[in-house]
Chains A and B, each alone.
Chain A
Amino acid sequence: MSLRIALAQLAPRLGALDDNLRRHHELLAAARDRAAGLVVFPELGLTGYLLQDLASEVAMRLDDPRLAALAGATRDLSAVVSFVEESADHRLFIAAALLEDGEIRHVHRKLFLPTYGLFDERRFFAAGDVLRAVPSRLGVGVGLAICEDFWHLGVPQLLALDGAQLLINPSSSPGRDLAATNEVGLGTATSWRILMRTYAQLTGSFVVFCNRVGVDESISFWGGSEVIGPSGEPLFSAPLFDEDLYIVDVELADVRRERIALPLLRDERLELQARELARIVAERAGLVPDATAEAGAEPGLDLEPAEPAREPIGFTARRR
């Protein structure tokens, strides 16, 4: 079964929701004209990335008619679009929705909000709590993860174990580190390529990465969208920085062949992981002794405080 994927490597206009909606409709139509079965847009493609206090002004609830209209443009088509979602209790999420056959089939809320270096997402957004693979009209399970979600090993693994064979990552990755020694002249691109090839191979899944281009304030987004096959082999790499709709044909049957030839996913030890993770959580919470902590450390901490230089004044320290 072959699938034609369209990667909408666009440059959203910051905060200009109506303009970006119009652009999404145009690109959906263009992808349909080119017989695509799946169209992927980048993270926050409907709003732009560096929103700061604009986030609440461009947020949409899942019952927003503008989302319904976008979904309406997906008869016999699958599309992944990304926007600011406002929940009924007024939390703002970075969300990606799988739209299929006229409806919103699934919504993924970004789980990991980078708030370090040039990122400040946690200040403006709430983090999602749910990670699910979902069935799709494409005949394979789909797993959505947004940008930074892929910088956490557990995410692609959990999605694949949950039934995803197509891992889709819409991104707004800022380009940085122009060192001449990098593979494509950009450190960010090198890091992303390494991790996506690794995930595709270790999970025996297709990885579809759609990264935006354009400039928000100081930050330039590098594009370089990719499709990687379940053997870890890159099937398509879009040019860096060019805005365009890129078309890639893949054979979904490659997943079966790859997973039988290299049955890594079959051999995963879920009960081992669950057990050890439960233990680590309990150690961090101070509920059980921590084997890697210092002997006299307080439960939940890993170091024993230094001996006080003199007796504390006014009370007596009681050691556990």
Chain B
Amino acid sequence: MARIAAVPSPIPVDDRGRPAFEIPSELAIDTDVARRVIGEFIRSQLRQAGFERCVLGLSGGIDSALVAYLLAEAIGGERLLAVLMPYRTSSPASRTDAQAVVAALSCASELVEITPMVDGYFGRDAEPGAAGREALEASPVRRGNFMARMRMSILYDRSVTFGGLVVGTGNKTEGLIGYTTLFGDSASAFNPIGDLYKSQVRQLALALGVPAAILAKAPSADLWPDQTDELEGGFNYEELDRILYWRIDRRRSVDEVVARGFDRTTVERVDGLVARSEFKRQMPAVAKLGPRTAGVDYLYPRRRPGSART
């Protein structure tokens, strides 16, 4: 009964002619099954919520491109709105890549520049914004978080105008290490790829035919010029994914993971990131006072009868 997985497309090469990434063998998934499960998941989420359409932010990166492809496969490109939300320093290549996805999927798209919103708050060219003079010197992290939350606000507004659910595009790796903005890029109605590590996102994106230019480039939050995830975090995704997989999915101790050949300092650093970001993966704690409290002892499925939009 052995089953041969579909042969994936070749891994694209980077600008130095080397494979842009590897897919660690323990992380390899059956992409046919993944597409089937995710397709049903998307359709069920929509049907149970009483929606037929989806909205997502398309950055030009692999995560949102993959989600766009999955949505188009599940419900058709005509029921999808891709919103491009560049800031003035965003990479022009990101926009070109996002537009390639829109063209490939024949989905609706909209361009909403966040520059006036962000500069209106932090100020620009020594001219203070709503946040006052101090904010002219705001750190990249403050600015990056603010941008992510502006994008979230736009998507939820477009959710109303387009009549679609906002679909999350964060992957499991960044969710676990907390490389997300709380209530920013992490906000969504549902997330089809939140349980896939970055390496698995790449594998699935290959299977779905996401453009090679998107697959080959270095992952980046594109919150400031030349930012890359791997430079900022000091990791490469293959190593990070494998450490997380063995520690979390396969419940191995730090010692056991180190025995597999990983650097102890790195493993401990990853552990620290996961622990420090626990709050980002949970609903806010509510002080328990009454006899029945949502999330504590009032427990209903979100798609209970009567919950769908009518």
Q: Does B305 contact A (CB under 8 A)?
A: yes
Are A216 and B301 closer than 8 Å at their CB atoms?
yes
* Residues of chain A in range 42-73 having any CB-CB distance to chain B below 8 Å: 50-54
Are A240 and B302 closer than 8 Å at their CB atoms?
no
- The residues of B that contact A184 with a CB separation of less than 8 Å are 1, 3, 30, 33
Q: How many residues of A contact B (CB 8 A)?
A: 27
Q: How far is the CA of A175 from the CA of B29 in the complex (A)?
A: 13
Report if A14-B33 is in contact (Cβ < 8 Å); known contacts: A180-B5, A183-B3, A215-B44.
Answer: no
Closest B residue to A215 by CB, please name it: B44
Q: Does B289 contact A (CB under 8 A)?
A: no
Q: Does B22 contact A (CB under 8 A)?
A: no
Which of A54, A182, A220 contacts B40, CB < 8 Å? A220
Taken residue by residue from 283 to 310, chain B's Cβ proximity to chain A (1 for < 8 Å, 0 otherwise) reads as: 0000000000000001111111100000
Q: Does B37 contact A (CB under 8 A)?
A: yes
- The residues of B that contact A182 with a CB separation of less than 8 Å are 30
Are A180 and B301 closer than 8 Å at their CB atoms?
no
Q: How many residues of B contact A (CB 8 A)?
A: 26
Q: Does B2 contact A (CB under 8 A)?
A: yes
Q: How far is the CA of A100 from the CA of B36 in the complex (A)?
A: 36
Most interface-central of A54, A180, A241 (chain B CB within 10 A):
A180
* Residues of chain B in range 13-38 having any CB-CB distance to chain A below 8 Å: 26, 28-30, 32-34, 36-37
Smallest CB separation, A216 vs chain B (Å): 7
Are B3 and A185 closer than 8 Å at their CB atoms?
yes
Closest A residue to B8 by CB, please name it: A180
Q: Does B109 contact A (CB under 8 A)?
A: no
Q: Does A178 contact B (CB under 8 A)?
A: yes
- The residues of A that contact B305 with a CB separation of less than 8 Å are 13-16, 54
Q: How far is the CA of A52 from the CA of B29 in the complex (A)?
A: 31
- The residues of A that contact B302 with a CB separation of less than 8 Å are 217
Smallest CB separation, B26 vs chain A (Å): 8
Smallest CB separation, B189 vs chain A (Å): 12
Q: Does B262 contact A (CB under 8 A)?
A: no
Smallest CB separation, B117 vs chain A (Å): 33
Are B45 and A215 closer than 8 Å at their CB atoms?
yes
- The residues of A that contact B29 with a CB separation of less than 8 Å are 178-180, 185
Q: Does A214 contact B (CB under 8 A)?
A: yes
Most interface-central of B5, B301, B303 (chain A CB within 10 A):
B301
Report if A178-B40 is in contact (Cβ < 8 Å); known contacts: A183-B3, A215-B45, A217-B301.
Answer: no
- The residues of A that contact B32 with a CB separation of less than 8 Å are 185
Q: Does B41 contact A (CB under 8 A)?
A: yes
Q: Which A-B residue pairs are the 7 nearest by beta carbons?
A: A185-B30, A215-B44, A185-B33, A180-B28, A178-B29, A52-B299, A15-B305
Since A178-B37, A179-B26 are in contact, a sample of 10 more A-B pairs with Cβ atoms closer than 8 Å, ordered by chain A residue number, is A14-B303, A16-B305, A50-B301, A53-B299, A53-B300, A179-B29, A180-B5, A186-B30, A215-B45, A241-B37
Q: Write 23 A-B pairs (CB below 8 A) sorted by A numbering.
A: A14-B304, A14-B305, A15-B301, A15-B304, A53-B299, A54-B305, A178-B33, A179-B26, A179-B28, A179-B29, A179-B30, A180-B5, A180-B28, A180-B30, A183-B1, A185-B33, A186-B33, A213-B40, A214-B40, A215-B40, A215-B44, A216-B301, A220-B41
